[in-house]
A and B are shown apart, each in its own frame.
Chain A
């Protein structure tokens, strides 16, 4: 009988103890930290002229809405632009810049630039401690003839920067994981 009493006591004590630990408050919302909602590439012509912005904005992150792609104006033919990227997480207020994070771990990140129909070529302006490209700063040189095509910007996390062609900006052997991929339809005129 004593054992029964003891068992019941342990049982009750556990129930009471654990029942007290629950609470009825509403859970706190989570603002996704890993999300990059906005990628803006600013292209400034070297000899002066109209600055062009390419922007991919996806305010619901991994939600169902597709990114909104905007290209401010057509790109001029036969022109070299200095380009820079800005990455933001706009789900936080104020918006958080992701650039710093990438600069701090620049050896683990690399941007890749590609253009279809040979409308432009790209070169890196910034490099990590090992002398490998990063790609937050770059140049774009446009083709001599008018036309149209896509500019694709890809950010890879932990790429194999030493693999063949990767430091020249060729993504083929880069592997790693894609953190950003945005495709901008542009016109050259």
Chain B
């Protein structure tokens, strides 16, 4: 404001002077954060093509200017270049503030890749736009598997949940455009509702060190950010179209953004995906299609000092689930497992029939930020999410198949504010508070007892993180966070279940209504959690660097772990939560060693995660119903340890040929029972050989070999069961893991430059080139069918 006054004063004092060209501009350039003078900054006067630089005190002057408006561009190494219009009238003085932490501009999370220089002290990997675009027609989980140590737990090929160092679901936080995704992430068949096409970059942070996002990310955090807005007058966009042979699928995504140099911007994006039944090498996977539609609108105002953003996104996924995986009772499961191929195989179809799910997710976000000179950056954000989930089962009366068996509406409001103090160049502080309210409504018109009850949930959190830069080679990080969660549910229990669980003794006071065969109860739980993190990064020299860190995190049990109560058809098992379940506590230490020399880069990441009261589900008996027998799986707690090593290696033979390796090894132990943990990813190694040649239309190609070894370490959950129709006892083998498999994939693309601003990228990808039969241990449909056969995908990407 005072500059305006100053300019105005100059203007007033000089008003009597006639227009002349003896005027001059002088001024000072300071760092926005701490006010220190910036020397050696370049000042370029655009309309006069004149240069000058600042002296050691940050001062500069330009003589012999004509009165009137000039445009100057101020730049400095490692600073954001600033363009200004200045009214020159006589002796004109101007103070200019430059932002010298350009790499942190608008940063909310740690950026950088395993191969770039260290910026902070966690194990993190960045997926860039080009990589994400390759997966435009697939899932978040598929794209993330490019990161060493990330695998996925699947229900078929369209429901893909990311697994970070062996942990998934509620143990992972997914942040999209600053919003913590709340989409009933507790279930294995509940994939994150993210349209990959909205992502400009994805950062994976292993472990719970990123306390700004939450204290319960025992596994890690996935941060999805939209493409950065360019601050110039521009209209740009891109369109991606792809076609697939497997599933006869096609997808379409388009986006358009209008930006103004003054900082205003508006963008829109829409995408659709359609797949029919996928194919295993030997048969069609009946009822595995997908129909997805989504769009988003993004607008706001952005300058260095302040801005706001309003974003709305809508995503609707209708996903068919393999028909043969819908099971009546344990005998059907025995038949299905023993059958070499699925028991239902029909001709190809785009139809999506029961069993299926349809999930709609909407996010409305508004945020506002302001930077204060010599102080820091304040941000306030409010977001609302609405997650509507329908699951359809095969019903006895096929007229009822249109009636969902699960109908849940989850609404979440979050208000958060954060303050980043970066005025001191060696210390930055990041602190924030957040408050959330969540309501789940289970519609009773399904005529199926609720899987998850109605509940209200309240969250309150506060954190402070300090980053201390000792020198350019050593960084220290400390963080602490407190979270309070309260869950207030209203749940019906069958009286028989209530008594069988012993709740009539322990929880008699929460019964609010007795309907004879059912009891209405009001479970109310509160959790106070403390999380902490500490880390150090040390760059020994240009070749070697290390990161060490420690994270303490606590996670309150999710509604599924507390309240699950019913028959799960796809698994033919009765799943039971437990009201007695306590929070789990993780202590994780990890270390990274990075080596970089000429064409070679190596990255080793090791971790040890000790989890007290680790919540998991395991078989605890068999129950009999009129349908027959079912195994009962109950949520339990134990002490567990997960540890492993992730390796990423890169070697550039020359500018054209390169070799890459990504390998991961992980082990999980149940320390109390002294046995292996279930669902631990197998040892995996990916070898890539690539070639690129700029001269051949920017040609890139890579051949990928993916080797997944049989998981030899698993708990034996097999049990003997009596099969009435054959009158014999059989052993139901649900534990043995599928054999080792090896797949080859090919990716290639060329880019045609149509004009200065328009190019077309044509990509040809073949996955599972040899149409290999395989089953993946972490795909829950592995009991019923082989995984996908060969797929040839053609993708056209138009940038304009």
Residues of A within 8 A of B (CB): 3-4, 7, 10-11, 14-15, 18, 22, 26-39, 56, 58-67, 91, 98, 101-102, 104-105, 108-109, 112, 114, 116, 150, 152, 154, 156-158, 171, 175-183
Contact = CB atoms under 8 A, between A and B. Distances in A.
Contacts of A4: 308, 368
A178 B449 contact: no
Contacts of B517: 59-60, 91
Given A30-B447, A34-B447, 20 more contacts: A4-B308, A10-B366, A14-B384, A26-B490, A26-B513, A27-B444, A28-B444, A58-B624, A58-B625, A62-B449, A62-B566, A62-B574, A62-B625, A63-B500, A64-B623, A65-B496, A67-B624, A150-B724, A178-B332, A181-B329
Contacts of A22: 439, 456
A150 B566 CA distance: 29
Interface stretch (B243-251, B393-401, B556-564): B393-401
B344 interface: yes
A33 B394 CA distance: 13
B606 to A, nearest CB: 44
Interface of B: 301, 308, 310, 326-329, 331-332, 335, 343-344, 364, 366, 368, 382, 384, 394-398, 400, 411, 413, 415, 439, 442, 444, 446-450, 453-454, 456, 490, 492, 494-497, 500, 512-513, 515, 517-518, 520, 566-567, 574, 623-628, 630, 724-725, 727
A112 B490 CA distance: 41
A27 B454 contact: yes
Given A22-B439, A26-B513, A175-B344, A34 B396 contact: yes
B497 A29 contact: no
A15 B495 CA distance: 38
Nearest to A158: B394
A67 B626 CA distance: 6
A178 B623 contact: no
A37 B626 CA distance: 7
Residue of A10, A26, A33, A104 with most partner-chain B CB within 10 A? A33
A22 B447 CA distance: 22
Contacts of B496: 60, 63-65
A43 to B, nearest CB: 19
B394 to A, nearest CB: 7
A26 to B, nearest CB: 6
Contact of A157 (B328, B515, B518): B328
Contacts of A112: 725
A181 B382 contact: no
Contacts of A105: 397-398
Given A62-B574, A181-B627, A3 B328 contact: no
Given A33-B447, A37-B626, A177-B326, A26 B727 contact: no
Contacts of A60: 494-497, 517
B624 A66 contact: yes
B344 A29 contact: no
A3 B308 contact: yes
Closest 6 CB pairs of A and B: A178-B328, A177-B328, A33-B447, A181-B628, A64-B500, A66-B624
